[in-house]
Amino acid sequence: MIEAAHNDRKHNDFRRQCRMVVHLFTEARKHFDDEELLIMHITSEIKNERKLTANPLLGTITNALQNLLNAIQTLAVPDEQYEILQVKVQRIASDLTAEIKKIEREIFSFKNVGKGDIECLELSLETARALMLQLSELVLLFNIRPSTQFGKVLALEVRNLSITSSPSEHKFENSSRLENGSEIPNAINNISANDETEDPDEGDVSDEDEDQGELRYEGMAEDVKETDSENFEVLA
């Protein structure tokens, strides 16, 4: 369990670093999306030979990408797979930064010198879009879940303790319940229920039966008196 807790802590530390990578990439992507519209606008102005009015702030993209690169480089990767992923993200982020700087140079040339390479500008923009898409797919792999290793090990230990409990422990538990009186009320209720279900006619004599018994007794007494009188007369 100690090892599981250590692994959980190590995994969650790495997860926090990964969340920072995702956050920094999100910022870089937002800056790229905002400035991409201005780059497209200025490209249209160049093609139509109009005055250049758009002013994309490409430095915000390169600064955000540099922050992302710093976070990736300091990432303490736990295994070879994440190490490969780390290298890929570094390479693509560096290539994307290079393309953004190319776009920045071409725009500067058109604005300040009055000429430049429009095809190079458009190609760099298309390349930057493709690299940003690749980077998005790779950074998604840094969205990792919290570790549940310690919780699983703890649940397994508890289950093993429940399975290995001896029958004598269950017997002791039952006797404790009797001593505490938890089973006594149930026994009393059972006895009361049995008393209530007995036949009410057994052992009880109605008033009508008593009257019939008295009449029979009186009749028998009269018969005895008459017989005694007859016998007395014969003897006399």
Domain ranges of the chain: 2-150
For residue 90, what pLDDT is reported? 96
Residue 103 has pLDDT above 90, yes or no: yes
Domain 2-150 has CATH 1.10.3470: no
**Per-residue pLDDT tens digits for 192-236:** 444 444 444 444 444 444 444 444 444 444 443 444 444 333 333
Determine the Cα–Cα distance for residues 37 and 31; give it in Å rounded to an integer: 11
Provide the whole-model pTM.
Answer: 0.60
For residue 7, what pLDDT is reported? 55
- Percent of the chain past pLDDT 90, that is, above it, reads 43
